Chain A
Amino acid sequence: MKKVFTLMLVLALALSMIACAAKAPEAAPAAADKVYKVAMVCDSSISDGGWGAACYNAMITAAEAHGWETMYTDNIDVADYVSSIESYCSLGYDMIFLPGNQYSDATKEVAANYPNVMFAVLNGNDQLPTANICSILPNADQIGYLAGGLAGLMTKSNTLGFIGGMELDTTKAKLAGFEKAAKYVNPDANINVLSAYAGSFGDTAKGMELATSMIAEGADVFFGDASAVDSGARQAIDNANGSGEIKVFDIGQPADILGQNPCVICSVVTDNAGMLGLCMDDVQAGTFGNKVVYGTLENGCLSAGKINTDLVPEDVQKAYLAFVESVTKGEFK
C-alpha cells in the first residue's frame, strides 16, 4: 500500500514536471519584436476584493493596452519580499510592479543588483526613485479630501469612522485629509473622527468588530484603507442599518464599488492602470527611472466615483461636486 502510494506520488510529480517543461519553448520570443513582461509581487491576496484586486486588475488593464505579458506572486511574507522580487529579475522580466511603500526597502536592495530591470513602486515616496526605480504616487491627501468632503456633508451625528489596515504613511495621510476636509465642509459642527487599525488587510472579522464598535460610539459615515477588512466593515454597517432606512453610510475605495453594499454612497477611485501605463510607456521609450508619476485629481488619475443618488440628497450632491471642483483647482489643500 505504502509503495503504491509513493509510486503514485512520484508519477504525479514526474508528470507535472513534463507538463511544465512542455510549455517552456514557447516562452522564448524572437528578439526582433520583443514582448515586454511585467510581474507583480504582493503581500495581500489578489482576490481580496480591495487593494490587491485593484492593483492586479490595474496591471492587467495596463498590460493589455501595451501588449505586455503579466505574472504575479501574492500572499508573500515580509521575509520573502527580496527573494520573490529577485526571482522575477532573474527570469528576465522588464518591469516589476510593487503595489505599496512597504516594498521600498526590498526594492532598493534588489534594484542595485539588476540595473536592467525597472521597478515601479506604487505609493513609493518621492525620495525613492533611482535610475531604475520609479514611484507611482496617488495623492493620499486628495484621497482623504474626496472621502472627507462627502462624509462631512452627510453626517448627522457629527461622528465619522476610519478603519485602517496598518499604519502606513499613506494611510495616515488619508486619515488626516479625511478629517481636515470633513471639518472644512461642515465648520459649524464639531466633527469627531474615530479611527482604528485592524493590524491586517485580510482579517474581515476584525473590520466587522471595529465598525460595530464605532457605530455604537455614534459614527455614521465610514471610510477605510484596509482591503478585505473594509468589506467586513461594510457588512457591520449593513447589519446596523437592518432592513429599515439606511442611516449609516460607507465610502469605498480604490475602485468604484457603488452597488456592492446598500450602504455605499460613493467611492474614491484611483486609476492605477493609467499611472502604471505611463511607466510602461517610459520602459518602452527607454526613459524610465528617476521619476515620480503622480496621481491627482488634476491629471484624472484620481476621481470621485458615482454617487448614490437615492441616499445623497440633491443639495449635498451639489455641495460635494463644488467641493471636488475646489480641490481639483487647488483652492483647498
Chain B
Amino acid sequence: MESLFTWNFASEIVLSTFRMATPLLLVALAELYSERAGLVNIGLDGIMSFGALAGFMISYLTGNPFLGILAGALGGVLVNMVYAFCTVTLCAEQTVYGMALNIFAPAISAFIYRVYFGVSSTLAQATLMKTIAIPVLKDIPFIGPLLFNQTPMVYFAYLMVPFTAVFFNRTKAGLSYKSVGEYPKAAETLGINVVRQKYVACIICGLLAGIGGAYLTTCYVNTYSDGIVAGRGFIALSAVIFGHWTGSGVLMACLLFGFCDALQLKLQIISKDTPYQLFQMIPYVCTLAALAIMGAKKAGPKAKGKPYLREER
C-alpha cells in the first residue's frame, strides 16, 4: 500500500481517468443533444457497438484510423435514423425504440464481424490512432505531459464541452434548439421547424455516439469483440442526468465515473487480499453518494420523452 499517494500513482490514475472518461464523454454529449430536443435515447449502447464495428472495419481495411472514426460516425447516424423515423415521424414510444436499438445494433455488428472475420482463436488487430502532443501546452510541468499528449479525438471530446455550453446558452440557434425540448408547440408558433430540429438532434446524437463507439476500437484498443461497449452507453445516459443536462455537468460526471473506475482497478492490484467485488462497487457507490449530496432538483427538458404531434391540440 506504500505506493499510494506517490507521484507515479497519481499520474497513472490521471492518465487512466482520461482514457476511460473520453468515450463516456462523447456518448454523454450525444445523449445531451438528443434530450435537449426532447428525445430520450436509451439506445446508446447499440449505436456505440455499431460505431465500434464500423470504425474497426474501416480502420482495419484502410489502415487509417481517421477514416475509421468517420465510418463510425456515419454508422452511428445510420443506426440512429431508425430511432429517429420511429419516434419523430411515427411518434412511437422512445424507450421502446431505444431498447430496440440496444438489441438490434450489437447483434448486427456481431453478425457482420463473424461473416467477415470468422470465428478464430485470435482477434484481428487494426492500427490505432497516434497521439499528438500540443506544442506549448505539453511543456507545462506535471500536467502538460499528462493532459496534452493524447489522440486528436480526446481533444475533440473535451473541446465539445465549452462549445456545447456556448451553443446552448449564448446562440440563437442553441436557444431555439433547447425550446424544442422544453415546449415544442410554442417553438412551432415561433416558426421553428420542430420535426426538422428533432431529426437534426438525432443526426448529432448518432454522430457523436458513433464516434464514441469508434473511439474504443480506433484510439483505445486495437481489436473488436462483442461486448466491447460493456454498458458504457448506460453510464453515459446516467451521466447526462447526473450532469443536469449541461455540458460542464456532463464533463464532471464522466470524469467522476472515469476516476472511480481507474481507482478501483488500481486498488484491486495493490491490495490483493480485499475481495475485488468491493472495489468494483466504488463507481456506483460514488454516484449514489454524489446524487444524494447534489440532489436532482432540475428535471431536465420539460418535453423529454413526449412524442410531438403537430396537429394535436
Residues of A within 8 A of B (CB): 2, 44-50, 53-54, 56-57, 74-75, 167, 194-197, 199-206, 208-210, 212-214, 216-217, 227-228, 231-232, 235, 255, 257, 260
Contact = CB atoms under 8 A, between A and B. Distances in A.
B225 A204 contact: yes
A197 B277 CA distance: 9
A257 B225 contact: no
Contacts of A50: 121
Interface string B265-286: 1101110100011001000000
Contacts of A200: 227, 230
Interface in B169-197: none
Given A49-B122, A53-B120, A57-B119, A214 B227 contact: no
Given A213-B16, A217-B3, A204 B110 contact: no
Given A210-B268, A213-B265, A235-B221, 16 more contacts: A45-B227, A46-B114, A46-B119, A49-B121, A49-B223, A53-B120, A57-B121, A199-B280, A201-B227, A204-B221, A204-B223, A209-B16, A210-B265, A210-B269, A212-B16, A231-B225
B45 to A, nearest CB: 12
B90 interface: yes
Contacts of B117: 47
A46 B226 CA distance: 9
**6 closest A-B pairs (Cβ-Cβ)?**
A202-B227, A49-B123, A45-B226, A255-B121, A228-B225, A203-B230
Q: Tell me if B's interface is mostly helix, strand, loop or mixed.
A: helix
A199 B266 CA distance: 14
Contacts of B14: none
Contacts of B277: 167
A208 B227 contact: no
B228 interface: yes
Given A57-B121, A260-B122, A228 B265 contact: no
Interface in B57-88: none
Nearest to B120: A53
Nearest to B121: A255
Contacts of B266: 213
B12 interface: yes
A43 B270 CA distance: 30
B122 A257 contact: yes
Contacts of A167: 276-277
Contacts of A217: 3, 269-270
B119 A202 contact: no
Contacts of B201: none
B20 interface: yes
A49 B113 CA distance: 12
Contact of A203 (B123, B228, B262): B228
A298 to B, nearest CB: 24
Nearest to A51: B121
Given A202-B226, A216-B8, A232 B221 contact: yes
Given A47-B226, A231-B225, A209 B20 contact: yes
Contacts of B8: 216
Contacts of B118: 47
B119 A56 contact: yes
Q: In the complex, which of the residues B123, B222, B270, B272 has the most CB atoms of chain A within 10 Å of its own CB atom?
A: B123
B227 A235 contact: no
A202 B223 CA distance: 11
Interface string B122-153: 11010000000000000000000000000000
A273 to B, nearest CB: 12
B244 interface: no
A45 B110 contact: yes
25 contacts: A46-B119, A47-B119, A47-B120, A48-B123, A49-B120, A49-B225, A56-B119, A75-B106, A75-B226, A167-B277, A196-B276, A199-B276, A200-B230, A202-B226, A202-B228, A204-B223, A204-B225, A205-B20, A205-B216, A205-B220, A209-B20, A213-B16, A214-B269, A228-B228, A255-B121
A162 to B, nearest CB: 10
Contacts of B225: 45, 47-49, 202, 204, 227-228, 231
Given A45-B110, A50-B121, A213 B227 contact: no
A231 B266 CA distance: 19
A47 B119 CA distance: 5
B227 A209 contact: no
B230 A202 contact: yes
B228 to A, nearest CB: 6
A75 B119 contact: no
Contacts of B228: 202-205, 228
Contacts of B226: 44-45, 47-48, 74-75, 202
A235 B221 CA distance: 7
Contact of B119 (A2, A53, A205, A235): A53
A103 B92 CA distance: 38
B91 to A, nearest CB: 11
B7 to A, nearest CB: 12
A223 to B, nearest CB: 15
A46 B114 CA distance: 9
A50 B119 CA distance: 10
